[in-house]
């Protein structure tokens, strides 16, 4: 059976980008066709300036939102990364296979390190090595597929490189995984700055739709989205990034494709209105389930306890195998 691994970082409130680019396909498709693991990858949240209490709150919230999105813990394994030691154990081994040049070439490292410096902070070493930990997350579970948004495909490529390199040098150990981004909305852009990705850790909230935003807040953010200077509505990410982003969001909500939709609109106002309503309707059931789930925190704890137990059992043989293969003496 195909094995799937993916995750979200508790670095902020989950956004429409996280949902359309990743979580929705986990809930609607992946969990039904593959043995799936979905993780709250909390160790990754420590790579930038963070508040410990906030990371804990966001970790619980992210897990609750995965369940509210329809991920069924009887089908998929939902767990917190730091509850499974194998991630950190394997990450170190992979650091011994990766090179510093490879790490410095990662686009996300370049972008996030600039942001950290701009915020007056220093760049944590873990931000540089983050993609290695992500590779460990994936390889520890022998995952075949990694459903992620387009921004993560470079990290999955690196994961593939590390897996192949390890296997060649030390013998067949890891499954070589591949990224499976969605066909539509693999890169949802910020509504106020449609040339940059909508990201939950970004400071400005006006261009970001959060999954728990009230319907009126969602409407306001989408109605105020930046559009482009042309008068025609065409799907062209280069020439009309604002409009194209709205078309893509609307198409993702309706299950259509953005090119086909563009012919149906003559005004920005009508496009925004339909997009706003489509997003409000998309989020409504999720927000309702979220409300029910927060009323029962012991249920979440039980889900995460069972998830971690199952994940540990799956990761340990592969990681132990990697320790032996690379030349470490088995414990006596």
Tell whether 9 is in a known binding site.
Answer: yes
Quick check: 139 binds ligand ATP (CB under 6 A)? no
Q: Please state, in angstroms and rounded to a whole number, the distance separating the CA atoms of residues 24 and 19.
A: 5
User: What is 124-158 written as a DSSP string?
Assistant: PHHHHHHHHHHHHHHHTTT-SEE---GGGHHHHHH
Element (H, E) at 8: strand 3-8
Residue 12 or 242: which CB sits closer to ligand ATP? 12
Tell whether 255 is in a known binding site.
Answer: no
* Contact track, ligand ATP, 159-198, x by CB under 6 A: ---------------------------xxx--------xx
Q: Please state, in angstroms and rounded to a whole number, the distance separating the CA atoms of residues 46 and 201.
A: 12
Single out the residue of 4, 5, 13, 17 in contact with ligand ATP (rule: CB under 6 A).
17
3-state secondary structure of 179: strand
Radius of gyration of the CA atoms of the chain, in A: 20
Structure tokens at 325: 């293969």
Single out the residue of 5, 13, 15, 286 in contact with ligand ATP (rule: CB under 6 A).
15
Quick check: 8 binds ligand ATP (CB under 6 A)? yes
Active site residues: 112, 197, 200
Name the segment binding ligand ATP (CB under 6 A); options: 17-25, 71-79, 243-251, 275-283.
17-25
Quick check: 207 binds ligand ATP (CB under 6 A)? no
Structure tokens at 222: 């989408």
Straight-line distance from the first to the last Cα atom of the chain, in angstroms, rounded to the nearest whole number = 34
Name the segment binding ligand ATP (CB under 6 A); options: 70-78, 149-157, 165-173, 263-271.
149-157
Least spacing, CB of residue 316 vs ligand ATP, in Å: 25
Helix H segments across 140-267? 153-170, 215-223, 241-254, 258-262
Single out the residue of 131, 177, 194, 199 in contact with ligand ATP (rule: CB under 6 A).
199
Residue with tokens 């709150």: 57
Q: Please state, in angstroms and rounded to a whole number, the distance separating the CA atoms of residues 332 and 328.
A: 12
Give, in order, the Cα–Cα distances in Å from 130 to each of 45, 57, 124, 185, 322.
10, 22, 10, 25, 20
Single out the residue of 5, 11, 24, 43 in contact with ligand ATP (rule: CB under 6 A).
11
Quick check: 24 binds ligand ATP (CB under 6 A)? no
Least spacing, CB of residue 180 vs ligand ATP, in Å: 10
Least spacing, CB of residue 62 vs ligand ATP, in Å: 8
Residues near 53 by Cβ (< 8 Å), separated by ≥ 6?
none
Least spacing, CB of residue 326 vs ligand ATP, in Å: 29
HEC-encoded secondary structure of 109-123: HHHHHHHHHHCCCCC
Single out the residue of 148, 162, 246, 279 in contact with ligand ATP (rule: CB under 6 A).
148
Least spacing, CB of residue 321 vs ligand ATP, in Å: 27
Least spacing, CB of residue 325 vs ligand ATP, in Å: 29
Summarize the annotated binding site for ATP as residue ranges. Answer: 9-11, 17-18, 149-151, 188, 197-201
> For binding to ligand ATP (CB under 6 A), which residues are involved?
8-9, 11-12, 15, 17-18, 20-22, 148-149, 151-152, 186-188, 197-201
Summarize the annotated binding site as residue ranges. Answer: 9-11, 17-18, 137, 149-151, 188, 197-201
């Amino acid at each position: 059976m195909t094995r799937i691994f993916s995750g979200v970082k508790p670095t902020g409130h989950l956004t429409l980008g996280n949902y359309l680019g990743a979580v929705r396909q986990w809930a609607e498709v992946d969990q039904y066709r593959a043995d799936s693991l979905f993780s709250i990858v909390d160790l990754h949240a420590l790579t930038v300036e963070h508040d410990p209490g906030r990371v804990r709150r966001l970790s619980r919230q992210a897990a609750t939102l995965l369940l509210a999105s329809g991920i069924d813990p009887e089908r998929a394994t939902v767990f917190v990364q730091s509850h499974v030691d194998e991630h950190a154990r394997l990450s170190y081994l992979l650091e011994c296979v990766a090179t510093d040049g490879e790490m410095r070439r990662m686009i996300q490292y370049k972008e996030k390190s600039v942001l950290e410096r701009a915020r007056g902070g220093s760049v944590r070493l873990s931000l540089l090595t983050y993609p290695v930990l992500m590779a460990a997350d994936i390889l520890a579970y022998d995952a075949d597929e990694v459903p992620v948004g387009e921004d993560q495909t470079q990290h999955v490529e690196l994961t593939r490189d590390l897996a192949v390199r390890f296997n060649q040098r030390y013998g067949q150990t890891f499954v070589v995984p591949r990224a499976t981004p969605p066909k539509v909305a693999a890169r949802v852009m910020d509504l106020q700055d449609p040339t940059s990705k909508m990201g939950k850790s970004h400071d400005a909230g006006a261009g970001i739709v959060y999954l728990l935003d009230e319907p009126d807040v969602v409407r306001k953010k989408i109605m105020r989205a930046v559009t482009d200077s042309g008068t025609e509505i065409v799907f062209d990410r280069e020439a009309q990034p604002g409009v194209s982003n709205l078309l893509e969001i609307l198409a993702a909500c309706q299950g259509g494709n953005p090119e086909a939709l563009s012919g149906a609109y003559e005004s920005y106002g009508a496009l925004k209105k339909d997009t706003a309503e489509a997003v409000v309707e998309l989020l409504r059931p999720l927000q309702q389930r979220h409300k029910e789930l927060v009323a029962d925190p012991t249920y979440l704890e039980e889900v995460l306890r069972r998830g971690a137990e199952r994940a540990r059992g799956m990761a340990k043989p592969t990681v132990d195998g990697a320790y032996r293969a690379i030349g470490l003496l088995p414990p006596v």
